[in-house]
Structure 1
Amino acid sequence: MSDEPYKSWQCRTCGYIYDEGKGDPDEGLAPGTRWAAIPDDWICPECGTPKGDFDMVEL
């Protein structure tokens, strides 16, 4: 288990934020799921933007 703090990632298209600490249970992503563990073909649940078009954000 990593000691790194959880990070958040924001969709460039719609502003949806994925928080590693909270996960997204509706998307099958348990709390604590790291960004790197999400499949590369995952898309934004709000607008369908590809994972590659998300940016890490400091909240």
Structure 2
Amino acid sequence: MSDIIEYRSWVCLICGWIYNEEEGLPEEGIAPGTRFEDIPEDWRCPLCDVGKGDFAAVEF
């Protein structure tokens, strides 16, 4: 059994900005390791200002 934590990345479907769960967004008060679903619902994309509904999980 592995203890590796699987973090996901989420891409804004409008502008392409990527939120990485492992890195978080400390400059906006979102700690590293914060899951996308745990970000407040009123959070907006820092690049184009759309809501969380315009993001999709991606795998690299």
Give TM-score scaled by structure 2 length.
0.87
Deviation at 1:16, TM superposition (A): 0.5
Deviation at 1:26, TM superposition (A): 1.2
Moved over 4 A (4+): none
Deviation at 1:4, TM superposition (A): 4.6
> What residue identity is the alignment partner of 1:38?
I
* Counterpart position of 1:41: 42
Give TM-score scaled by structure 1 length.
0.89
- Larger Rg computed on CA atoms: 2
Q: Where in structure 2 are there 5+ consecutive unaligned residues? A: none
Give the whole-Å Cα distance in 2 for the aligned partners of 1:25 and 1:8.
16
CA RMSD, Structure 1 to Structure 2 (Å): 1.1
* Counterpart position of 2:26: 25
Question: How many residues of Structure 1 are paired with residues of Structure 2 in the alignment?
Answer: 57
Name the % identity.
54
SS at match of 1:36: helix
